[in-house]
Chains A and B, each alone.
Chain A
Amino acid sequence: MSFIILIALFAAFGALLGYAAIRFKVEGNPIVDQIDSVLPQTQCGQCNFPGCRPYAQAIADNKADINQCPPGGDAGIAALADLLGVEPKPLNEENGVEQATLVAVIDEEVCIGCKLCIQACPVDAILGAPKHMHTVIEAECTGCDLCLPPCPVECISMEPIAKTLALWQWDKPDNSQNKAKT
């Protein structure tokens, strides 16, 4: 039968592909870096991953949706959507809500220097020696809240970042005339 030739040909194709799968095997995924660079690096874990990079990895592996990072907010989701060429969607409320960034402030009167907060801080933003009061380096705190729960004397509070002229933004004009009334 003449189609034996065909079948043999197809089998050869299969072998070729099998070979290609070995020969062109790809390791790692550079897209992870790109995704990671879009994430806010708050390292807060609200996305249900232990930090931003693991979440980036999960997105790249199609194991997580793009709408799980509350600190990144809608702008972050939009950037991810743009990067990955998918439609943006609203933030998943199960992960939290977008808030203004805060910084941790340690009440130095109350702090007992237990070091627990230092262990919790993902970015090493807290300084202090054992038994001495600790302090937060404001410029390096990402406002992730992770230092709050471990503190035995509850001396850490989250405070809004002072508005400065350097970070002041002009108002965006609104085209209310063109918007729907409803």
Chain B
Amino acid sequence: MHFLTSNSPFIAPQNSIQKMMLWLLIALTPGIFTMIWQFGYGVLFNIIICVSSAIAAEALMLYLRGRPIVPFISDLSAVVTALLLALALPTIAPWWIPFIGAFIAIVIAKHLYGGLGYNPFNPAMVAFAVLMISFPKSMTVWILPNALLPNGLSFSDIFAIVLNTQPNNDLVDAITAATPLDEMKTQLGLNQTTEEIKSASIFSSLAGQGWQWVSIAYLLGGTLLLFKKIISWHIPVGLLSGLFVISALFYLFEPGITPSPIFHLLGGGAILGAFFIATDPVTAATTLKGRFIYGVLIGVLTYIIRTWGGFPEGIAFAVILINMAVPLIDHYTQTRVYGHK
């Protein structure tokens, strides 16, 4: 009797990309719901526009490159990229911001490098950084948390703002503010002390109104990822401890004029970045030691950019900056192989 041959191992694989991405999406849901609760429906528009344009861009690029479309779309990586981008954007950004962002992420940052697995830079963060540089005006206005809006914004209000490419400045000024990080930085620049600054309404006990709850929800989702072994602890722990330690140092030495470590951890995108963004396996270091170093470097750089740099939120730039160093980190953090010194 004759048989066909193939190569071992013959055992079915235990995991798939799709499964990992799906878990990531699930882990993001608490954050998304908290965001809707705190900041209104704007985020939904971002998500819808981002995800649909990302899928369109992915399909287009796969088609142009002559790659099979279905298996690569159904791996959901484009959806993850789009979702992470959408969550980083201001919730009342005009519609073309998420649209352009999704295309930059998928076309330039991902497919020009060969698509899934080959991109050296985190696509979502590249898109975010490009948008930030290109459209600083639209990218720095954040809506006030619901708690501070006298009568909230309805679904249709937001719809109008998102679609209106030239929003009425007065209306926008009334409902928007800088993010807590941004405000903190601006006010520190005016020689205010942190105590004075934190008495403003957009701040609250831990960090910023609304922001702290969103961060905590992300923390919840992040733990799920750790638990499901989709990510290893090295990056989030490295990043958060890097950020914590450096901000604590400065906080200890100059308490009045530097925000607290807690503020740094919860006041902006640190948690989202630590669990969902810096952990992007494709662009992160791949050795465990390397991942820890990678995380710490991002944490420290985030603090530097936040504190002395031109951008109030440093995560995105820190991530792509350290992305550049990943091959070098990997090169110098080889594991000790069994039987070697």
Contacts and interface: CB of A to CB of B under 8 A. Distances in A.
A171 B5 CA distance: 12
A18 to B, nearest CB: 43
A7 interface: no
Main secondary structure of the interface of B (DSSP, over half): loop
Interface in B1-45: 7
Chain A's interface size range is under 10
B71 A180 contact: no
Contact of A177 (B65, B66, B71): B71
Nearest to A181: B66
A168 to B, nearest CB: 14
Contacts of B66: 180-182
Contacts of B65: 180
A33 B52 CA distance: 58
Interface of A: 170-171, 173, 177-178, 180-182
Which size bracket describes the interface of B in this complex? under 10
Nearest to B71: A177
Given A178-B67, A180-B65, A181-B66, 10 more contacts: A170-B7, A171-B7, A173-B7, A177-B68, A177-B71, A180-B66, A180-B67, A181-B67, A181-B68, A182-B66
13 contacts: A170-B7, A171-B7, A173-B7, A177-B68, A177-B71, A178-B67, A180-B65, A180-B66, A180-B67, A181-B66, A181-B67, A181-B68, A182-B66
Contacts of A181: 66-68
A169 to B, nearest CB: 13
Contacts of B67: 178, 180-181
A177 to B, nearest CB: 7
Nearest to B5: A171
Nearest to A173: B7
A179 to B, nearest CB: 8
A160 to B, nearest CB: 24
A171 B71 CA distance: 25
Interface string B55-68: 00000000001111
Select the residue from A170, A173, A178, A180 with max chain B CB neighbours within 10 A: A178
B110 to A, nearest CB: 14
Contacts of A180: 65-67
A173 B6 CA distance: 10
Contacts of A171: 7
A175 to B, nearest CB: 11
Nearest to A171: B7
Q: Taking each of B7, B68, B71, which has the highest tally of chain A beta carbons within 10 Å of its own beta carbon?
A: B68
A171 B7 CA distance: 9
